[in-house]
């Protein structure tokens, strides 16, 4: 039997790393809040894109693990705040997140309101051009 004393927990995420991830996510959430707060209210502009960092400096955590932890926590936090979210990491050097501020139900309601107005909108009658000529 070995005299080394260690457990599986010794190799897992530390409390310090968890706090670092939380701090990064809170910073991104604050930036998103400032971006959205500065936008004019327009229910036809429903989706906003926010560029995300691709490198995170978390001690003793690999680049891939830190990205996974930060992005997952960010998505969960935005969902918890009732945003619709689409994550895009399809490009190598660019990661973004699309944030929809209206739920699918609210967008459907908006579309229904617009359809009702369009359906009952008074139609313009075509104008008839009159001339002095009498048809022969």
Phi-psi bin for 67: left (phi > 0), alpha (psi -120 to 50), beta? Answer: alpha
For residue 94, the cross-strand partners are 91
Q: What is the pLDDT of residue 4?
A: 77
Domain range list for the chain: 13-120
CA 47 – CA 100 distance, rounded (Å): 4
pLDDT string in tens for the chain (136-residue length): 556 777 776 677 888 999 999 999 999 999 999 988 887 766 667 788 999 999 999 998 998 999 999 999 999 999 999 888 999 999 888 999 999 887 778 888 988 999 999 898 887 766 666 666 665 5
Compute the distance between CA of residue 61 and CA of residue 55 in angstroms, rounded to an integer.
12
Left, alpha or beta for 60 (phi > 0: left; psi -120 to 50: alpha)? Answer: left
What is the distance between the alpha carbons of residues 25 and 70, in angstroms, rounded to a whole number? 6
């Amino acid at each position: 039997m070995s005299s080394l004393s260690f457990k599986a927990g010794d190799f897992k995420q530390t409390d310090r790393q968890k706090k670092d991830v939380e701090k990064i996510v809170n910073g991104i959430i604050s930036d998103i809040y400032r971006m959205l707060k500065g936008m004019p209210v327009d229910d036809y502009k429903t989706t906003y894109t926010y560029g995300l960092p691709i490198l995170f400096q978390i001690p003793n955590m690999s680049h891939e693990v830190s990205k996974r932890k930060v992005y997952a926590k960010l998505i969960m936090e935005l969902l918890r705040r009732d945003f619709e979210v689409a994550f895009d990491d399809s490009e190598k050097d660019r990661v973004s997140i699309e944030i929809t501020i209206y739920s699918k139900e609210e967008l459907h309601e908006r579309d229904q309101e617009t359809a009702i107005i369009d359906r009952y909108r008074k139609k313009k009658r075509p104008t008839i051009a009159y001339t002095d000529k009498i048809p022969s």
